[in-house]
Structure 1
Amino acid sequence: MYKILPRSDGAVLGVEVSGTVTIEEEKELIDKANELVSKYGKASFLVVLGDHVGVSFEAAAADIKWIVTHMNKIARLAIVTDSKLLAALVDIDATFAKLAGISEKHFDSDELDQAWEWIEETMPTP
């Protein structure tokens, strides 16, 4: 399950994920991302991950497919989680994301305001 965070604005979409994301929910998120990309050319995403986050196989595959086909449309990606494992994975992924022109960064949950400030620094305008 997910909820759009109220600070989302312009080319920045903030999402809090908890529980399991279904393929239907993933499709909704992809539609929202496509709207931003269509309007702004590039978009940035802030994702807050709860403690027990899961994703269906179909949803994970749809997410990966969208990211791979839209890498040049992603400006920044902030992942907010207290999971040490996910933080390490974000750090590894950030190296590869940089090769695709994406700035990716991990923040702990107590750094949510800093994550918003970082993600909003380079908001594209229409």
Structure 2
Amino acid sequence: MIEILPESAGCVIGFQISGDVTDEDYMEVFIPAIDLAAERYGTVRVLVDIVDFKGEDFGAMTDDLIQDTKVSLVEREAIIGGEEWEKRLLSVQPAFFLFSSTDVRFFKPEHRQEAWRWVSEGMRDLVRAPEPR
């Protein structure tokens, strides 16, 4: 499952990855949130918090992500998880939440606040309230 975290604001989007991740999670939550932020702000920063992750059914997700031009606008990404996640993600790049031209840093779960600070650093001017629908 992929959920948008309530701390998300403007061009800084946090996602919690837990349980089983499906193609639908990716296509209905992850990519639309990044696309919307890219359209509104021109640049995006992402925080991924990996909690109780069980497995994934990526299907065509990786190919779709590689072909999507908006993901190139993700300039910074913080990934929260244990050391095993850093090794696992680096060994399968490009995975669906690792972007090749992005400054990526890994944080242990006990450094969650530090991860939010880093991913949001210097973004004050780009973070503005969402436009009313």
* TM-score of the superposed pair, with normalisation by structure 1: 0.79
Closer/same/farther in 2, CA of residues 81 and 110 from structure 1, 3 Å limit = same
Runs (5+) with no aligned partner, structure 2 = 94-98, 129-133
Moved over 6 A (4+): none
Deviations 1:65-89 (A, max 9, x none): 325534431111111001x222234
Residue 9 (structure 1) shift: 0.2
Give the match's secondary structure for 1:19: strand
Q: Which residue of 1 aligns with 2:40?
A: 39
Distance of 2:16 and 2:87 partners within structure 1: 20
Q: Which residue of 2 aligns with 1:9?
A: 9
Decide which structure has greater helix share: 1
Give the root-mean-square deviation of aligned CA atoms: 2.3
Distance of 1:13 and 1:72 partners within structure 2: 15
Equivalent positions of 1:104-119 (< 5 A) are 104-119=104-119
The alignment-based identity, stated in percent, is 29
* TM-score of the superposed pair, with normalisation by structure 2: 0.76
Runs (5+) with no aligned partner, structure 1 = none
Give the match's secondary structure for 1:52: strand
Residue 10 (structure 1) shift: 0.6
Residue 62 (structure 1) shift: 1.6
- Residues matched between the structures, number: 118
Deviations 1:8-59 (A, max 9, x none): 001011011111112211112211111001111110110011233321132x
